[in-house]
Amino acid sequence: MKKLLYIIICTVVFSSCTKEEKPIIISAENYHQTVDKITDIMVHDIFSPPVASRIYAYSNLAAYQIIRQENKDLIDLTSNFEELQPIPKADSITKVNLKLAALVAQMEIGKKLIFSEELLTSYRDSLYTSWKKTNEEEFNTSKEYGLEVAQHLSKWIDKDNYKETRTMPKYSVYSDDPGRWQPTPPSYMDGIEPHWPKIRPFTLDSASQFKPAPHPEFSLEEGTAFYDELIEVYEINKKMEEEGDEAEEVKIAQFWDCNPYVSTQRGHLMFATKKITPGGHWMGICKIASKKADLDFAQSSYAYTATAIALADGFISCWEEKYSSNLVRPETLINKYVDENWKPVLQTPPFPEYSSGHSVVSGAASIVLTKIFGEEFSFEDDTEVKYGLPVRSFKSFSHAASEAAVSRLYGGIHYRAAIENGLVQGKNLGNHVVKDLNLQPLTY
């Protein structure tokens, strides 16, 4: 009897020890899922494209700064960042699960920057429960380190001037100048984020560092460059309307819509359709590329973080030009001077026209992704499937960026100059990001 009791006690003790020593396994898929969760919450909260880019940049940077300690081949992306001190180092990498700590920091920073904290907290707590059951000591040590890094980065994040811009005055639209931007149907919303150029950039010397070539001088006289571009928008959209929804141009416009808030009016009822932002679409492309290349956790974090930084600086650069040019949208002029019943294929976003945000950030992101994955990296883009749109195929990131840019012409919301000059603006900025961060291609 005593011998049997001894065996039972030894078995229980041995099982307990074995459970405690079981390591917590975290894969690249866990990283992708966390980025997707933050994206879903941003869609829920209806963040504007510039604000969404800030959330992507900071949350991914928090994870990357931790996980790069595990892969010495990955560079420090923050060496040139203004006022950012190096993160605290883990006391012992043998005791800290750096992947777990990276996800903790990523979620903690994400939770700090979104509105619906409870949605991310619920997701986080489900992971915490699983990790804790697997190895409580490893979980606690790693979580503590992740929170320490998040707290360290939060102090730097709070100094980027975002909070100050929340209390700055709204954009004034009262003007007799016919070339100045005016709110557009159906909601006639105020111009969003007019003070975004005041946000601290990551790699730029100033928000105006990559100012695009000027748009054609405003004129409503036939034969002038500006008037020709205005009529081009009208005529392309009329032709698309005749061809119907099966026209390739319509499909391209809808695929790259990426308007986070499309308002629909039916009588006195107004409701919104929520979607990802342009930045969210390119982060989705980054995920597709990372999975195709079979990148590990640290490599995926590198790709996401570099892409997010390019997007964030792209929006700062673009918004500097938008609220400097203050150019009127095609819809306003066409309805007033050409055809009062005309409507664009896409809903016109609530901010000035020049330059095209899609063109700028797509150009920037495509340059960074090309540097990381290579020139001829083809992929199947299923980012929009969850919003009811089919997969589109691209032979390269540059191919995708060019289509994203021209989609704005097909959508009826931009003139050609904003698209073409914006794409150049974005690619110039992207090349600067590659150089400033010293980005290196990944071997996969």
Q: For residue range 320-358, what is the model confidence (pLDDT) as tens digits?
A: 999 999 999 999 999 999 999 999 999 999 999 999 999
The CATH number that domain 180-437 falls under is 1.10.606.20
- Quote the pLDDT of residue 266: 55
261-266 vs 379-381, strand pairing mode:
unpaired
Q: pTM for the complete prediction?
A: 0.94
- Quote the pLDDT of residue 93: 64
Within 8 A by CB and 6+ apart from 197, the residues are 207, 208, 316, 319, 320, 323
- Quote the pLDDT of residue 399: 98
- Quote the pLDDT of residue 6: 47
CA 46 to chain centre: 13
Within 8 A by CB and 6+ apart from 265, the residues are 186
Task: Identify the segments of the chain with pLDDT beneath 70.
Answer: 1-21, 92-93, 264-272
Q: Where in the chain is the domain with CATH 1.10.606.20?
A: 180-437
Contact 206, 393 (CB under 8 A): no
Nearest to 135 by CA among 17, 14, 27: 17
- Quote the pLDDT of residue 174: 76
Nearest to 315 by CA among 180, 397, 204: 204
